[in-house]
């Protein structure tokens, strides 16, 4: 049977990770993989997470199955983070624990297909490179709306609005709440208000992917699109991930929140979502969710986590500034100011695939072919070398 299967090319990002690992040049720089790094190039376990794990080792008294929706206490905490405290107990919202943001997106896809099999989902051009295989692979019909202008290295806001104004009522629009992947460019608060007005006016179904909450401005600020829409639309889907803001990448922690027109519909939506989970992985993984739940409920740990999140956010901003300053010295004729205006870990540097290849082969500087960089790979120790290398291939 298996002989009928063709071998697939290695995933581009996994291939890049392997190439970087095998590279023996001491000065190599990794701007590829999408994880946070500290100034020593490490992806640390947060101190708040370590403390919560110690607490769980001592106090967790069962690992019996959870239900398909996961732990209601964790779900409530997560819902409050994204929708605000007032959303707790709202009988129009169901939040269920999922294996990371990816698991959340996949359950959302299953639900959309059950609710409306021919539904179309509009995604930004470009978008996270797993949105298409993940959502399209699940069977959804995907369409694109303009987002990034390679010529100006800015947001195509007017084009995006013009396109969304033509999207038929009832279609789903996927939006990155903050720290857009791969561009790092987010609409301003005023632009988000305009997007929200258009979504309401045209009766579109918002689907918000919030994988970097707290990495742009702050927890509440980064949830702006959700907060602007929750009271104004009958239906909304929100996929949240704790991979980045809690550094729990491999523990698979996330939620899917589903807003329905009324409590009765919400009961039906919840039962359908639970059944999709039951037939896919039965119950969600718990350890990382239990860690997050404990941190969010413990006043001191929560404050510590918020401090650690602010530190990560601050470092990312500082590294953007450092790179642009260094490029100003080594590549004075070129404008990289768009890197400072972006949020979170990613930006398009604005280099060609050939320049990406030369950076890799001649300078041991690794980034994905599109020229997307993860600014978390920059440190005060490598920024000079990095800027000189980029200048050399321009």
Ligand X SMILES: Cc1ncc(COP(=O)(O)O)c(C=O)c1O
Closer of 240 and 266 to ligand X (Cβ): 240
Angle, helix 383-393 to helix 299-330, in steps of 10 degrees: 40
Segment interacting with ligand X, rule: CB under 6 A, options 98-106, 153-161, 217-225, 375-383: 98-106
Q: Which of 68, 95, 243, 389 binds ligand X (CB under 6 A)?
A: 243
Does position 288 interact with ligand X (CB under 6 A)? The reply is: no
Does position 106 interact with ligand X (CB under 6 A)? The reply is: no
Does position 82 interact with ligand X (CB under 6 A)? The reply is: no
3-state class (DSSP) for residue 387: helix
Cα separation values, 372 from 228, 254, 296, 349, Å: 30, 25, 33, 6
Binding mask 5-34 for ligand X (x = CB under 6 A): -----------------------------x
b vs e for 337-366, b when ≥16 Cβ sit within 10 Å of the residue's Cβ? ebbeebbbbbbbbbbeeebbebbbeebbbb
Identify residues 198-237 at the interface with ligand X (CB under 6 A).
209, 211
305 is catalytic: no
244 is catalytic: yes
209 is catalytic: yes
Closer of 136 and 328 to ligand X (Cβ): 136
Q: Which of 87, 94, 97, 241 binds ligand X (CB under 6 A)?
A: 241
**Distance between CA 392 and CA 64 in Å, rounded?**
58
**DSSP class of 372:** E
Which listed residue (51, 71, 186, 244) is catalytic? 244
Q: Which of 74, 83, 122, 128 binds ligand X (CB under 6 A)?
A: 128
Query: Which among 281, 393, 295, 374 is positioned nearest to 29, based on CA atoms?
Result: 374
Does position 344 interact with ligand X (CB under 6 A)? The reply is: no
Alpha helices in the chain (DSSP H): 12-22, 47-59, 72-83, 100-115, 131, 137, 157-164, 189-201, 219-222, 224-229, 263-280, 287-297, 299-330, 338-341, 353-363, 383-393
Tokens of 208: 């918000």
Binding mask 158-177 for ligand X (x = CB under 6 A): ------------------x-
Which listed residue (30, 71, 209, 251) is catalytic? 209
Q: Which residues contact ligand X (rule: CB under 6 A)?
A: 34, 100-102, 128, 176, 181, 209, 211, 241, 243, 249, 254
Supply the residues annotated as catalytic. 128, 209, 244
């Amino acid at each position: 049977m298996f002989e009928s299967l063709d071998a697939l090319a290695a995933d581009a990002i996994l291939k890049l990770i392997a190439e970087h690992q095998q590279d023996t040049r001491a000065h190599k720089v990794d701007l590829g993989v999408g994880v946070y790094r500290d100034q020593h190039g490490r992806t640390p376990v947060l101190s708040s997470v370590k403390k919560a794990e110690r607490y769980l080792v001592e106090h967790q008294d069962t690992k019996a199955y959870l239900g398909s929706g996961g732990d209601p206490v964790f779900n409530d905490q997560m819902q409050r983070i994204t929708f605000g405290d007032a959303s707790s107990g709202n009988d129009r919202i169901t939040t269920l624990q999922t294996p990371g943001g990816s698991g959340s997106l996949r359950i959302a896809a299953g639900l959309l297909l059950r609710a409306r099999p021919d539904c179309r989902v509009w995604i930004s051009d470009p978008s996270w490179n797993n949105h298409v295989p993940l959502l399209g692979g699940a069977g959804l019909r995907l369409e694109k709306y303009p987002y990034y202008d390679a010529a100006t290295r800015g947001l195509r806001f007017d084009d995006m609005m013009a396109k969304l104004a033509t999207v038929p009522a009832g279609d789903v629009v996927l939006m990155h709440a903050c720290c857009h992947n791969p561009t790092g460019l987010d609409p301003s608060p005023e632009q988000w208000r305009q997007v929200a007005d258009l979504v309401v006016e045209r009766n579109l179904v918002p689907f918000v992917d919030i994988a970097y909450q707290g990495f742009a401005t702050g927890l509440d600020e980064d949830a702006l699109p959700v907060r602007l829409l929750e009271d104004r639309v009958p239906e909304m889907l929100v996929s949240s991930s704790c991979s980045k803001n809690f550094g729990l990448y491999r523990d698979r922690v996330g939620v899917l929140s589903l807003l329905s027109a009324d409590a009765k519909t919400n009961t039906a939506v919840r039962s359908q979502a639970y059944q999709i989970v039951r037939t896919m992985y039965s119950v969600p993984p718990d350890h990382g969710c239990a860690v997050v739940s404990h941190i969010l409920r413990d006043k001191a740990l929560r404050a510590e986590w918020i401090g650690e999140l602010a530190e990560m956010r601050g470092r990312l901003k500082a590294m953007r500034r450092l790179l642009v300053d260094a490029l100003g010295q080594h590549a004075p004729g070129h404008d990289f100011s768009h890197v400072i205006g972006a949020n979170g870990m990613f930006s398009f540097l604005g280099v060609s695939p050939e320049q990406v290849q030369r950076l890799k082969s001649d300078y041991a500087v690794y980034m994905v072919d599109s020229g997307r960089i993860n600014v978390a790979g920059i440190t005060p120790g490598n920024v000079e070398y990095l800027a000189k290398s980029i200048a050399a291939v321009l």
